[in-house]
Amino acid sequence: MAGSPDNPEGRAAARQLQVETHGLDVIGDAERKGTPRTLFWPWFGANVSILGLSYGAFALGFGISFWQALIAGIVGIVFSFLLCGFIAVAGKRGSAPTMVLGRAAYGVRGNRLPSVISWVLTVGWETVLCALATMATATVFSRLGWGGGTETKVVALILVGALTVVGGVMGFDLIMRLQTVITVVTGVLTVVYVVLVADHIHWSTVSAIPAGSAQEFIGALVFMMTGFGLGWVNAAADYSRYLPRGSSSRGVIGWTTFGASVAPLLLLVFGLLLAGSSDKLAAAVAADPIGALTILLPTWFLVPFAVVAVLGLVGGAVLDIYSSGLALLSAGLRIPRYLAALVDGVLMIAGSVYIVFVADDFLGQFMGFLTTLGVPIAAWCGIMLADLALRRRDYDETDLYRPAGRYGDVPLTPLLLTVAATALGWGLVTNSAAHWLTWQGYLLQPFGLGGKSGSWAYANLGVLAALALGFLGTLAVGRARVRDQEAQAPSPADAGAVV
């Protein structure tokens, strides 16, 4: 009876065993299901990774106190995921993937520029998560005396890569089920980890960490934003597009923000306490952010730790590879969605091989990656949020695919604004640990901020500047364009060329 009208559970189960056929197309009303509350599961499952503990060491690495790091973390995490919540509303209003909805702001083919940037960011993130899972597994095996060398890393990489690729290829229904399982298993085992290592916290040591400057605090805050919500904004509507049109916008914002933020906030607090209690642990996290956390564990919990580490990281990587495939299609590649996810999986594994077997400095390259791509994504986010705020009607779903439609083909204003915001942002960020980024920071001296070695050099102001310029610039110059778009009559379904 699977799939019969009187057996919706059977019909859902049948869908979960099939490869999702949806790509960039609009989700029809008959396939829309769930409530905003269901958004909790994919967002929590994607962010419950034990990597959140390592962000405690990352934050303290900016030279700030526990309380400064805690405030920077709370503000950075909640605010950045709140941006995801707002963009998720566009999915409910337009029924299409995030990077297709961006065509309303950028034009149908003009949107290929941010789609390429989005694709690079999501492929980068899934690569980082896959590599971390591989290194963590090798560290656990090494401590157990079961190897941990090249052979172990190769096998771990294959298994983690296979899990991620299968989830991305199969699509939405499998991802929703997988994230529910990951949420429960990872949540329980993480609590056990916290209990086991709690006696390694020494509040007297943590509270004695001296406070840092305002610039160092801002740098940590921006790093938290780019490491959490700004890494997800370009995929925020990919899951809310399956909700019924009448779903509460406040519910979409609230459940997205809450589901994504709650685990990182709790993990960050504990991570700050652990890293602040041990300089040795904090230094080890820079080289192996997940594996270093095993230093404090009894041997009997190492295998469960490996499970929680791998599942948490795979949970994030699966969402990334799903969204990266959609971004690749939106950039203009004409292949089925599942093949796009497979292409990204191959790139993910290749990148993971480099990180695991070639790169020496993980943290420096990671921070450089986040800040560099965080700037254009912040610019895109500001433009997208302002465009969404200006709209009073739902998207015309037909014109999202027509270069001759109301949204235009390649409008210059949003593209020039993105380039300008990115140029401004890159001029205000630096990363000395990544030698390929030494060209950045070229505006710090002209703006009187002390140059590349001054006190503002590592505040990462460029991310905030790009976000603000994209948002305010669109509010200033985009109002008339949006009003003109919304004044046009709805387009017929067979209105012309589809892209």
Share of the chain above pLDDT 90, in %: 48
Place of tokens 């690749």: 328
Structure tokens at 272: 């700050």
Domain-embedded: residue 32: yes
Please indicate, yes or no, if residue 129 is contained in any of the structural domains.
yes
pLDDT for 496: 56
Residue found under tokens 């640990």: 433
Q: Are 456 and 450 in contact (CB under 8 A)?
A: yes
Q: How many CB atoms lie within 10 A of CB 281?
A: 21
The CA-to-CA distance between both ends of the chain, in Å, stands at 38
Would 166 be classed as within a structural domain?
yes
CA-based nearest residue to 246, from 394, 104, 98:
394
Is 3's pLDDT higher than 50?
A: no
Instruction: Place 498 in a pLDDT band, splitting at 50, 70 and 90.
Output: low
Query: Across all residues in the chain, what is the average pLDDT?
Result: 87
- Let me know if residue 251 belongs to a domain: yes
Residue 52 confidence (pLDDT) above 50: yes
| Dist CA 318 CA 64 (whole Å) | 34
Instruction: Find out whether 93 and 257 touch, Cβ atoms under 8 Å.
Output: no
CATH of the domain at 107: 1.10.4160.10
> To the nearest whole percent, how much of the chain has pLDDT over 70?
93
Q: Give the predicted TM-score (pTM) of the model.
A: 0.86
Query: Are the C-beta atoms of residues 341 and 347 closer than 8 Å to each other?
Result: no
How many folded domains does the chain comprise?
A: 1
Q: Indicate the pLDDT class of residue 82, thresholds 50, 70 and 90.
A: very high
Cβ(420)–Cβ(414) below 8 Å: no
Positive/negative CA dihedral, 450, 453, 455, 459 = positive
List pLDDT tens digits, range 171-211. 767 777 777 787 788 888 888 888 999 999 999 999 999 99
DSSP H helical segments within 25-171, as ranges?
A: 40-47, 51-60, 66-94, 98-101, 103-106, 112-144, 150-170
For residue 160, the enclosing domain spans 25-362
89, two tokens = 């509303």
162 falls within a domain? yes
Q: What is the pLDDT of residue 108?
A: 95
Non-local CB neighbours of 439 within 8 Å, separated by 6+ positions: none
Is residue 175 within 8 A of residue 314, CB to CB? The reply is no
In a domain, 187, yes or no: yes
Using a 10 angstrom Cβ sphere, with 0-12 exposed, 13-18 middle and 19 or more buried, the burial of residue 342 is middle
CA 83 to chain centre: 12
pLDDT grade for 493, boundaries at 50, 70 and 90: low
Nearest CA-CA partner of 316 in 5, 8, 32, 47: 47
**Per-residue model confidence (pLDDT) at position 315:** 80
Top pLDDT among 484 and 166 is at: 484
Per DSSP, the residues of 126-145 read HHHHHHHHHHHHHHHHHHHT
Is the pLDDT confidence value at 487 over 90?
Answer: yes
Helix (H, G, I), strand (E, B) or coil at 149: coil
Domain-located, residue 393: no
Q: What amino acid occupies position 361?
A: D
pLDDT tens per residue, range 11-43: 444 444 476 676 677 878 788 888 999 999 888
**What residues contact 29, with CB distance under 8 A and at least 6 apart?**
244, 245
Question: What is the structure's pLDDT at 16?
Answer: 43
The separation between CA 208 and the C-alpha centre of its own chain, rounded to angstroms, equals 33
Say if 372 falls within a structural domain. Answer: no
Distance CA 289, CA 315 (A): 17
Comparing C-alpha atoms, which of 108, 113, 81, 83 is closest to residue 96?
Answer: 108
What single letter denotes the amino acid at residue 313? Answer: L
Stretch 65-75: mean pLDDT: 97
CA distance 424 to 414: 15
pLDDT (tens digit, 9 = 90+) per residue, 117-142? 999 988 988 898 898 888 888 888 88
Q: Decide: 121 and 234 in contact? Cβ < 8 Å.
A: yes
152: nearest Cα among 356, 440, 14, 350: 356
- The average pLDDT across 256-261 equals 96
The answer on pLDDT for 264 being more than 90 is yes
